A = this chain, B = another copy of it.
Amino acid sequence: MADPEEVVKGLEIIKELKKGPWPSYIGETEKTRYPLKLYAASLYLKRDLWTTGGYVSVPGVPTGILMRVTSRPDIGESANVVRIYLPSGNFVTSKMLRNIADFADKYGVSMVHAITTSEDFEIPGIPKERIRDFVSEFRASGMEVGSTGDAFRNTTTCVGPALCEYALFNAPKLRDDFYDRFNDYAKYPTFPHKMKLKVSGCPLDCARATQKGDIAIVGSWEGAPRIVKEKIENMPKERKEEIARSCPTGAISIRKGQLDIDGGLCIQCMKCIVMSDGALLPGERKKYLLYVGGKLRGKKGPFTAKLVEKFDDPYQAFDLIDKIIEVYIENAARKERLGDMLFRIGMKNFLHLIGKEERAHNVKDLRTNIFIKVTDEEKEKMMKELKKSIGGE
């Protein structure tokens, strides 16, 4: 049977996408059994030809498997997707890759989605009736599927100390430990909406934790960056001046030809560090920052995450995460991301719910209106603190 017009025209369009220096996904796809005609037609018709089948749970995967239904069965078959957890840091072995490729050949369409934006692998194109078999066989091979449903989606971290000298802690290891402790929340869909924990080893935030993390843990420090003596000595004067000028808070000055960094002014922005060719490194009084409420969609659109607490040990964050989960489950509306809940109830209420008091690090700016409610006790406490700090009578 001849292809319908939209397929013929569509295939013309995608031919164009095989050209050019950037790796072509069309070229790759032609080497698979993915229904390229369906995709081609959708480009020609300018409309998506998949419809959503939701997540359907299968034995052993309570959060479900993602179903994909085609709206044009004449040109492409329905197909489902499994998400595969990678080792922390996304380290993979050739054995693992070949194993996954074998499964994709056997159950899927010989295509691997290597790697999703949330750092899983996916095998697409598994027929519904074969999902069960796939899951049990795949598990037997030593790997696990997941990252679906109203649960903890895959937790991502930067590569951390495995490759990077900036890492203030072992971020990939923290992910391992996270799953030891919190796997139930990843396995069972008990949340109002999805939750994501993202972890970065230092403030450069290669894991984009502060943009995408419902909960984010970011390594940082207190005070000035560490100066690597040997390296700084050989640095030309102009470089030093350039580094000093680049500091946003003016923490860096040059005294007797050497960099002098005022720890009291450093905001740990890393600017000087990345400019220094290794002569400056993150400081030694390590701190671990817990942020909440980042996400890109939800009901109110994208929010960046907001700083909640600074810990001396990243594992201290785990107890607070337990509390945050509890508060989230109790207070969020259905399909309300943590960030939207935060927006609705306000940071103040949120902090109180998780048992924290507001502190200066929780705000980016202070209020400008003075429609303030204060109780008598609060006033008394305020005066006591103030007198203590500025020495009133």
Contacts and interface: CB of A to CB of B under 8 A. Distances in A.
Interface string A346-389: 00000000000000000000001111000000000000000000
A211 to B, nearest CB: 11
Nearest to A371: B301
A371 B302 CA distance: 11
A240 B130 CA distance: 75
A301 B369 CA distance: 5
Interface in A298-319: 300-302
Nearest to A301: B369
Taking residues whose C-beta sits less than 8 angstroms from the other chain, chain A's interface range is under 10
Contacts of A368: 301-302
Interface in A265-320: 300-302
A79 B191 CA distance: 65
A71 B285 CA distance: 61
A370 B302 CA distance: 9
Nearest to A297: B369
Contacts of A370: 301
Contact of A369 (B302, B369, B371): B302
A46 to B, nearest CB: 14
A371 B370 CA distance: 32
Interface string A84-124: 00000000000000000000000000000000000000000
A22 to B, nearest CB: 21
A250 to B, nearest CB: 12
Interface string A1-19: 0000000000000000000
A368 B368 CA distance: 23
Nearest to A300: B369
A277 to B, nearest CB: 25
A369 to B, nearest CB: 3
Nearest to A370: B301
A291 B174 CA distance: 52
A342 to B, nearest CB: 16
A381 B16 CA distance: 29
Nearest to A368: B302
A337 to B, nearest CB: 13
A368 B303 CA distance: 9
7 contacts: A300-B369, A301-B368, A301-B369, A301-B370, A301-B371, A302-B368, A302-B369
Give the top 3 A-B pairs by smallest Cβ distance, nearest first: A301-B369, A302-B368, A301-B371
